[in-house]
Amino acid sequence: AQSVAQPEDQVNVAEGNPLTVKCTYSVSGNPYLFWYVQYPNRGLQFLLKYITGDNLVKGSYGFEAEFNKSQTSFHLKKPSALVSDSALYFCAVRAPASGGSYIPTFGRGTSLIVHP
């Protein structure tokens, strides 16, 4: 079975500081990994994904994420946080095409609060 954990319910960071939102996963085989962002009263928006290749992937709004196979992690990062980054962030994992569930499993979300 595939699973994903976001160990922090909430992350607080000051504007201009770097931010990290943590995600660890469990899946058979090489994972497909995703980050989504949900602003209040909105649907989730795709931020970035890792399928294969360079472990550091860049996405929308200046976000990036680093795939670490040995630590089974896919942490979301941004060098300089903005107040407008405040939102709910979801990590998702899917098994590769060779097996497992084709439907991504979502984490429980991490609320990012950026203080002015």
Partner 1 sequence: DTAVSQTPKYLVTQMGNDKSIKCEQNLGHDTMYWYKQDSKKFLKIMFSYNNKELIINETVPNRFSPKSPDKAHLNLHINSLELGDSAVYFCASSQDGTAGYYGYTFGSGTRLTVV
Does the footprint of partner 1 cover residue 63 (CB under 8 A)?
no
Q: How far apart are CA 13 and CA 68, in angstroms?
A: 23
Q: What one-letter code names the amino acid at 63?
A: F
81 vs 92 by CB, closer to partner 1: 92
Considering only residues 45, 68, 71, 84, which one is a binding residue for partner 1 as defined by CB under 8 A? 45
Q: Is residue 100 classed as helix, strand or coil in its secondary structure?
A: coil
Contacts to partner 1 from residues 84-113, by CB under 8 A: 88, 90, 94, 96-97, 102-104, 106, 108-109
Do the bridges between strand 73-78 and strand 87-94 make them parallel or antiparallel, or are there none, so unpaired? unpaired
88 beta partners = 38, 111
Token pair for residue 27?
């899946």
Our CB check for partner 1 shows the closer of 55 and 60 to be 60
The residue assigned the tokens 């954990």 is 5
Q: How far is the CB of 51 from partner 1 (least distance, A)?
A: 6
The site for partner 1 (CB under 8 A) is made up of: 32, 34, 36, 38, 41-46, 49, 51, 88, 90, 94, 96-97, 102-104, 106, 108-109
